[in-house]
Amino acid sequence: MCDKNNALPPEGSAKPAQNTRKTYEITHRDRFLLAGALVWCLLAVDAVLWAWPHGMGVTAALFGWTLLLAAALGCRLFENRENRVLLVVLLLLGASFALTSSLYFRFWNFLALLALAPLHACGLSEEARQPWWDLSMVPERLLLLFHGLFGRLGAAFAALAPVGKKQDPQRILSAVLGGAAALALLGLLVPILSSADALFAAATEDLRAFIAEHLTESLWKLLLALVLTPFLFGLLYRLRRPAAVQVRGKLPVAADGLPFLLVLAALDGLYLLFLAIQSAGLFGGAAYLAAHGISYAEWARSGFFQMVGVTVVNLTVLMTALSAARREGRIWTALRFLAALLVAESLVLLGSAAWRMTLYVSAYGLSFKRLMTYWGMGMMALFFLTATGKLRKPNTRFLRTAAPLALAGWLLINCVPVDYLVARNQVDRYLSGVSASIDAEYLLYDLSYDTLSQLDLLDGAMICRDRQTGGQRRLDALIAQRRAQAAADCTDWRSWSLSAWMAAGE
């Protein structure tokens, strides 16, 4: 006999609807994290999006983000050495905003934080399989980031459901959207009705004045933070509860080595010719250059930026060839020889660029760009020396050494008072008579507050251009103006920095 309750539905009948709605496991910790995510979004909106120039605000936002990750993941934040290293780098970059006032370093450090913070966060997930120095990590962690930000939006609304009741994220989302729509319509229609009826305008005048004076900016910050919170909480939810991971094996890359061989041979021949001509200028001196219609100063100040750029191209070609070419036969042997020759030529190119840069600096002094070029040449030389390891052992991963080296080099140059060194060099050259003039306007406006202590050594009666008015003013008045700007930065904790505080207090 057949049980009617277990009987199969007749053929052709409609199948019962299946519930495909996502369900979210919500705990008290998740509700605490949701509140923390909202607080952090308010902090980020107020201290980063609403504050310029960036200073202590970015530092506070970065350290707050670290505390939020620690609350979400606990000891997992410190389990892996790779994650610990990235965490230290992030904290140091964040701290730099509270220490320095260089707009150049703030800009690049901010971009670095935007790249490294998601990289670090997604690396904390159990779904992350590739190390951060492997290029295959980029698509993996981008996928994890997008899945976290956009794939768990309902988790925030599920966490808002009362404890013990059935969670219905869609119902809560509908309520939130309805409330936002109601507020938007009220904000649109109340001014229209006020302009249409004088009595209504008089009745709501005090309310509208209070809102315009006290709540407008705060309301926009709150609304923006509320919009961002579900995305951030969704990411934290995904990091705490990773989905099932499918491990896929890597497909080895083995291309024909002949095209790479021809490219390396062409580059090696070109650089041999270039270096032969360069050596004539280096050792022939001013007389040799004058015979060719080129002044020694003109030759010294041209080309070093281009040569640094050329070495970047060389390194890219070199690593592509060593990584993608088939490692067998005489072609591979010849390719390794040509690659070694390219490394040697690139190091000589960097040495030549450094020599010419030194000649130029000895004649015209330091600038921010020239000092950073020294740093860039040093980093490129280290990268080429690192590449020699892959020449000896082709299976060595270049980025495993080069990526930490790049981070360490960037942190190191952040610790160097670049603007102060440039100002001291320029002022010393001018006061000692080596330079007949000094570009005080450049030191005053294009660099950070760190230059002011050196500009105080100059004659205050010197006349310089005021970039704010376009007129001419005394140097001491312009220095006082810059110190007033530093003091203004220190009045708001979001833009406060140690550099501005020291400049304002001198």
Two tokens, residue 140: 């993996």
User: Are residues 346 and 397 part of one domain?
Assistant: yes
* Tally of structural domains, the chain: 3
Residue 17 pLDDT > 60: no
Amino acid identity at 164: G
| Residue whose C-alpha is closest to residue 74's, from 323, 268, 240 | 240
| Residue whose C-alpha is closest to residue 340's, from 288, 303, 394 | 394
Query: pLDDT tier at 469 (50, 70, 90 boundaries)?
Result: confident
User: Are residues 387 and 428 part of one domain?
Assistant: no
Give pLDDT, residue 6. 42
Does 112 reside within a domain?
Answer: yes
Of residues 37 and 202, more confidently modeled:
37
Does 12 reside within a domain?
Answer: no
Give pLDDT, residue 7. 44
Query: pLDDT tier at 449 (50, 70, 90 boundaries)?
Result: very high
User: Are residues 357 and 213 part of one domain?
Assistant: no
Does 397 reside within a domain?
Answer: yes
Residue 283 pLDDT > 70: no
| Residue whose C-alpha is closest to residue 407's, from 119, 89, 107, 81 | 89
Q: Which of 85-99, 215-229, 481-495 is the least confident region?
A: 215-229
The percent of residues in the chain predicted with pLDDT above 70, rounded, is: 78
Q: Classify residue 446 by burial, with Cβ atoms within 10 Å: 0-12, 13-18, 19+.
A: middle
Does 339 reside within a domain?
Answer: yes
The answer to whether 461 and 475 have CB atoms below 8 angstroms apart is yes
Of residues 195 and 242, more confidently modeled:
242
Does 209 reside within a domain?
Answer: yes
Q: What are phi and psi of 357, to 5 degrees?
A: -65, -40
User: Are residues 238 and 220 part of one domain?
Assistant: yes
**What's the average model confidence in pLDDT over 386-401?**
86
Q: Which of 43-57, 193-207, 443-457 is the least confident region?
A: 193-207
Give pLDDT, residue 284. 56
User: Are residues 177 and 101 part of one domain?
Assistant: yes
Of residues 58 and 322, more confidently modeled:
58
The answer to whether 390 and 398 have CB atoms below 8 angstroms apart is yes
Residue 301 pLDDT > 70: no
The answer to whether 479 and 455 have CB atoms below 8 angstroms apart is yes
**What's the average model confidence in pLDDT over 167-196?**
64
| Residue whose C-alpha is closest to residue 372's, from 317, 414, 315, 326 | 414
| Residue whose C-alpha is closest to residue 56's, from 91, 102, 95, 112 | 95
Q: Which of 173-187, 330-344, 368-382, 431-445 is the least confident region?
A: 173-187
Q: Which of 182, 217, 242 is the last residue of a domain?
A: 242
The answer to whether 105 and 92 have CB atoms below 8 angstroms apart is no
User: Are residues 470 and 371 part of one domain?
Assistant: no
Give pLDDT, residue 247. 45
Does 169 reside within a domain?
Answer: yes
Instruction: Please give the Cα distance from 471 to 449 (Å, whole number).
Output: 22
Its domain, for residue 345, covers 258-416
Q: Which of 145-159, 273-287, 372-386 is the least confident region?
A: 273-287
Query: pLDDT tier at 172 (50, 70, 90 boundaries)?
Result: low
| R_g of the chain, CA atoms, integer Å | 31
**What's the average model confidence in pLDDT over 306-321?**
83
Q: What is the dihedral of CA 87, 92, 96, 98, to 10 degrees?
A: 80
Q: Which of 373, 390, 416 is the last residue of a domain?
A: 416
Residue 196 pLDDT > 80: no
Residue 219 pLDDT > 90: no
User: Are residues 199 and 342 part of one domain?
Assistant: no
Q: What is the dihedral of CA 483, 485, 491, 497, to 10 degrees?
A: -80
User: Are residues 217 and 128 part of one domain?
Assistant: yes
Average pLDDT, the chain: 82
Amino acid identity at 173: L
**What's the average model confidence in pLDDT over 25-51?**
91
User: Are residues 400 and 270 part of one domain?
Assistant: yes
**What's the average model confidence in pLDDT over 303-320?**
79
Give pLDDT, residue 168. 55
User: Are residues 159 and 137 part of one domain?
Assistant: yes
Residue 4 pLDDT > 50: no
Two tokens, residue 227: 């919009």
The answer to whether 158 and 169 have CB atoms below 8 angstroms apart is yes
Does 9 reside within a domain?
Answer: no
Q: What are phi and psi of 325, to 5 degrees?
A: -75, 150
The per-residue DSSP string of 364-429 comes to: H---HHHHHHHHHHHHHHHHHHHHHHHHH-TTS-HHHHHHHHHHHHHHHHHHS-HHHHHHHHHHHH
Does 138 reside within a domain?
Answer: yes
**Strand 463-465 relative to strand 472-474, pairing:** antiparallel
The pTM of this model reads: 0.82
Q: Which of 416, 439, 467 is the last residue of a domain?
A: 416
The answer to whether 128 and 140 have CB atoms below 8 angstroms apart is yes
9 cis-preceded (ω within 30 degrees of 0): no
E-strand spans in 65-104? none
Bridge partners, 434 (sequence order)? none
- Residue 464, H or E segment: strand 463-465
User: Are residues 229 and 270 part of one domain?
Assistant: no
User: Are residues 238 and 263 part of one domain?
Assistant: no
